[in-house]
Amino acid sequence: MKLLAPGTEIDGFRVGECIHAGGMAHIYAVEYAQAGRSPGFAMAMKIPRMTAGDGAENIVGFEVEQQILSVLSGPHVPRFVAAGDLMRLPYLVMEYVPGETLQDWLDKTPLPERSAEQIAALGAATAHAAHSLHQQNVCHLDLKPANVLVRADGSAVLLDFGLSCHAHYPDLLAEEMRKAVGSPAWIAPEQVVGVRGDPRSDIFAIGVMLYEMATGELPFGAPTTAGGLRQRLWMTPVPPRKHRADVPPWLQEIILRCLEPGAAERYPSAAHLAFDLGNPGQVLLTERGARTEGTPIGTHLRRWVRAAGMHYEPSPLPAHQIEDTPIVMVAVPHDDVTDATLYSLRQAVARSLGIRPGARLACVTVVSPSASSASDSERSETTLQRQHMARLRQWAQGIDLAGHPVSYHVLEAGDVAQALVRYAAGNHVSMMILGAATHGLQTQRFIATVPMRVARDAPCTVILVKQALPFAQLDRG
Amino acid sequence: MKIALLSDIHANRQAFATCLQHARAHGAEQFALLGDLVGYGGEPAAVVEQAMALAAQGAQLVLGNHDAMALAPPPAPRDRSELGAQWTHDQLSPAQRAFLGALPLTARLGASALLAHASADTPAQWRYVEDSGAAERSMDAARQLDPAIRYVFSGHVHEQVLYFLTPTGKLMRFAPEPGVPIPVPQHRQWLAIAGSVGQPRDGDARAMYAVFDDAAATITFHRVPYDHLATAAAIRAAGLPAFYAERLEKGL
C-alpha cells in the first residue's frame, strides 16, 4: 500500500505524517477529523502493507493484533481506540506512546556505558509489563527490543501483538506457528516446536534481550534455518561473563535462568523475574552465575539427543499458571510484638508455602524513618537496616524453605499500611500474610488499623493471622 | 443485535426460563431455538407454550429429533431416549403438536447464519457434529446452500464447542470459556454448538446457551445455574423413568 498523503481522512480520523514505515505496516500520527474532539492522548494509526485485495489470509497477524489489543488494558499496552473493517479498510488506531524502544537504547548506548543496574531496571520494567499481559491471559510471543517501549518514567509498554496468543480465543495462528514464525533471535525453544501460549516463552525472550544488553551479542545468533532455530532446544549459550568479565554473577544467574531450554527451569512467572532484577543482592547464586566457560560438547550432545523428541504440547492457561507459583509476602512486625504472634505468623507462612511448590517468599518489615539517627552510630541507618535484616532472617529460620526462594526487605516508611500495600502492588504479590493484631493495633480500636487498611487496599489476597491458642493459654496460667 | 441461541431444552421449564431471563438481562433482543424443545423432561407442554410465545415475537425455530419423535412416537421404544416419546406426545395439545409439526429442519438467521439442530448436511438424518470432520461437512453443506452463510449454529451434541476455519483452510475445534465474548469475524467460517439448556451431560448441572452479537461479531457461551433439583422432582412426579431425573441431578 502506498503512503497516505497528510490530511487524508479515514473513518473520522485525519491522517498526519508517517511515523514509521515497517516491513509489515505503516504507522501514522492521526487525530479526530471532527474539530475539538480528542481522546486526551496522542493517537497513532497502523495500516498493514497488505490489503484485503492480497487475500485476507495475509493479514491474519493484523487480525490477531486487532482482537487482542482491543481487550487488553493497563499501563503496559497502548490504549486501543478503533479498528477498521478487515475486509474493507484494515487499520488500527491506538494510543501513541512517547518514549524510546529498547532497540533505540541498544543502538545509542555503547557497551562500556551500560551498567548492570541500568540493564536490570530495563529488564524489570519489561518483566512487569509482560506479567501484566500474562495476568490478562495473553502471551506476547514476539518480545524483542524493537517491541518494548520505555516511557520517560522508566515503565515499559509492549508493542505489536501480531503473533500473540489469547488463551480464551481461537488461535488463528495455531497451524502456522508449527513452522515457527516469529523473530528467530528471540523466540523460545518451545515456540520452535509449535507450543503457543506458555508465558515462560516471554521470559525466555526477555532473557535474550538481557543477554543482548549485557554483552552486545545474541545468545543464539540470528538463525535463518530450521536446524539453527532448533539449537536452542539443547544449547546453553556462552556465559555472558565470557563476553564481558564485568557482568556481575547475579545478572548472569538471572539471564541464564531465563534462557534455560526447558521452560520449567526458568522463572515460573515474569513477576519472579522482575523480583530478582529488583533485588540483585538477594539473587540465589548457583553454578550458573559463576560460569565463565561454555558448556562441554558432551553435555550438549546428550541434550541434543533428548531435544530430538520435543514436540507440540498444549500449555495451561497463563493466568492459572502464574497463580500456581505466587509471590507470598509476610509482614513481620518488630515493635511491641509477642513471641506467640511471631510463632503464629511462621506457622501461617509455612502452611501457605507448603501447598504451593515454587512459590517465593518475601519477608518484609517496615521501620519508621525517625528511628534512625545521623549522629548516633548505634542508630545509624545502615546499622538499623542490618539489625532488622538479621531479625528477619532469624525469624524465618524455623520455616522449611526447601525449594522456595526467599528474600528479606526492610522498608522505611512512616505509614506502615501504605508501605505494605505499595510493596505488594509493585512486586505483583499474590498473597500477603500479616498479623491480625500487630503493628500497634490494640490501642487503636476506633481508627482504621494497619491490618484493616491493608485488607481494604491491598491488590491481592490478605491473610490475617490470629495469635496461636497455646501461648495465650500458657500466659493465662 | 444480540441473539440468544438456545438448544436441547428437553422439556426443562426451569432451565429454559432461567436462560431466557439471563439472556434478556445480558441484552438479548431476539431468540433462536435450535431444536429438541421436548423429550426426557417433565414439562413439555409448558416449554412448547413458551416457545410458541417467542415465535409469535419473531424468534426463529428449527425442528429437533426429539420433537419429531414426540409427533410420531415409535410404537416399540428401542432405547431409553425413546421411552418417554409417547408420554410427551400425550402431554401436548393438538395446537402444540401442529406448531412442532410446522417447524423447518433448517432456518436462516439474517443473511449470514444458518440454524440446524444437528448437521446441516442432510439435516433429516440428525447427524452428530462430534468432530472437525463432521463440522466441516456441515459447514460445506451450508456454504452450498448459500455462499453468504458464514455461521452455522447447532445443538444436538449437548456440549459447547466452536469450530473455525484457519487461514490455511484447516478446521479447528475450540473449547470456549463461559462468559468470554469471542471474536467471530464474518470473513471466516464458524460453526458454534450452543450446548444444551435442559440436559447438560458434562458433569456440570448448569444450563448452557450462547449469545451471538451480529454487530460486534462475537459469540459468548454461557453456563447458568438453575433449580435443577426442582426439574428432577417434576420428572419423578410425572412418572417418567428415574434415570431422566438422576442425570439432571448429576449433569450426566
Q: What is the interface pTM, i.e. ipTM, of the complex?
A: 0.87
pLDDT at A443 over 50: no
Mean pLDDT of all residues belonging to chain A: 86
Percent of chain A at pLDDT exceeding 70: 89
- A87 to chain B nearest CA, in Å? 7
Q: Which CATH number fits the domain A100-321, given the four candidates 3.40.50.2000, 2.40.50.1070, 3.30.930.10, 1.10.510.10?
A: 1.10.510.10
State which residue of chain A sits closest to B215, comparing Cα positions.
Answer: A85
**Which chain B residues are Cβ-neighbours of A172 within 8 angstroms?**
166-167
Percent of chain B at pLDDT exceeding 90: 81
pLDDT (0 to 100) of residue A1: 60
Mean pLDDT of B118-122: 94
pLDDT at A449 over 90: no
pLDDT (0 to 100) of residue A52: 56
pLDDT (0 to 100) of residue A56: 53
User: Which has the minimum average pLDDT: A225-229, B71-75, B102-106, B178-182?
Assistant: A225-229
Mean pLDDT of B89-95: 95
pLDDT (0 to 100) of residue A119: 98
pLDDT at A116 over 60: yes
- A172 to chain B nearest CA, in Å? 6
Between CA A270 and CA A210 the distance in angstroms is 13
Using the beta-carbon criterion (under 8 Å), do A176 and B167 form an inter-chain contact? yes
Residue A442's pLDDT band (cuts 50, 70, 90): very low
Residue A2's pLDDT band (cuts 50, 70, 90): confident
Using the beta-carbon criterion (under 8 Å), do B172 and A174 form an inter-chain contact? yes
Test mutation, A54, A57, A66, chain B, max B CBs within 10 A: A57
Q: Which residues of A make CB contacts under 8 Å with B?
A: 56-57, 60, 63, 67, 86-87, 167-172, 174-176
Q: Which of A63, A67, A176 sits opposite B168 (nearest CB)?
A: A176
Using the beta-carbon criterion (under 8 Å), do A168 and B167 form an inter-chain contact? no
Is there a catalytic annotation at residue A202? Answer: no
Residue A445's pLDDT band (cuts 50, 70, 90): very low
Q: Which CATH number fits the domain A326-473, given the four candidates 3.40.50.2000, 3.40.50.150, 3.40.50.620, 3.40.50.300?
A: 3.40.50.620
pLDDT digits (tens, 9 = 90+) for A250-271: 999 999 999 998 888 899 999 9
Residue A438's pLDDT band (cuts 50, 70, 90): low
**Which chain A residues are Cβ-neighbours of B164 within 8 angstroms?**
170
pLDDT (0 to 100) of residue A234: 77
**Which chain B residues are Cβ-neighbours of A171 within 8 angstroms?**
172
Sketch the domain layout of chain A as residue ranges: 9-95, 100-321, 326-473
Q: Which of A56, A168, A175 sits opposite B168 (nearest CB)?
A: A175
> Per residue, what are the HEC states of B2-29?
EEEEECCCCCCHHHHHHHHHHHHHCCCC
User: Of A142, A160, A198, A276, which residue is the catalytic one?
Assistant: A142
pLDDT digits (tens, 9 = 90+) for A280-319: 999 989 888 888 888 777 777 777 777 666 654 555 567 7
Between CA A381 and CA A379 the distance in angstroms is 6
Mean pLDDT of all residues belonging to chain B: 93
pLDDT (0 to 100) of residue A167: 92
Residue A446's pLDDT band (cuts 50, 70, 90): very low
- A170 to chain B nearest CA, in Å? 6
- CATH class given for the domain over A9-95: alpha beta
Using the beta-carbon criterion (under 8 Å), do A172 and B166 form an inter-chain contact? yes
pTM: 0.84
pLDDT digits (tens, 9 = 90+) for B139-196: 999 999 999 999 999 999 999 999 998 877 888 899 999 999 999 999 889 999 999 9
User: Which has the minimum average pLDDT: A175-184, A448-457, B76-85?
Assistant: A175-184
Using the beta-carbon criterion (under 8 Å), do B164 and A170 form an inter-chain contact? yes
User: Which has the minimum average pLDDT: A75-89, A191-205, A291-305, A307-321?
Assistant: A307-321
State which residue of chain B sits closest to A58, comparing Cα positions.
Answer: B167
pLDDT (0 to 100) of residue A175: 67
Please, which contacts does B138-144 make with residues 24 or more away whose CB atoms are closer than 8 Å? B138/B191, B139/B163, B139/B165, B139/B171, B139/B189, B139/B191, B142/B114, B142/B116, B143/B189
By DSSP bridging, strand A360-367 and strand A327-331 are: parallel
Residue B74's pLDDT band (cuts 50, 70, 90): confident
By DSSP bridging, strand B106-109 and strand B113-116 are: antiparallel
Between CA B30 and CA B25 the distance in angstroms is 12
Nearest to B19 by CA among B226, B239, B165, B180: B226
- A169 to chain B nearest CA, in Å? 6
Using the beta-carbon criterion (under 8 Å), do A86 and B180 form an inter-chain contact? no
Q: Do domains A9-95 and A100-321 have the same CATH topology?
A: no
Q: Which residues of B make CB contacts under 8 Å with A?
A: 162, 164, 166-168, 170, 172, 174, 176-177, 180, 182-183, 185-187
**A473 vs A308 pLDDT, higher one:** A308
Test mutation, B165, B184, B187, chain A, max A CBs within 10 A: B187
**Which chain A residues are Cβ-neighbours of B175 within 8 angstroms?**
none
CB B36 within 8 A of CB B66: yes
pLDDT at A59 over 70: yes
Between CA A407 and CA B205 the distance in angstroms is 45
- A273 to chain B nearest CA, in Å? 29
- A221 to chain B nearest CA, in Å? 30
The contacts of residue B51 (CB under 8 Å, 6+ apart) are: B9, B33, B37, B59, B61, B99
CB A197 within 8 A of CB A318: yes
Residue A50's pLDDT band (cuts 50, 70, 90): confident
Mean pLDDT of B49-56: 97
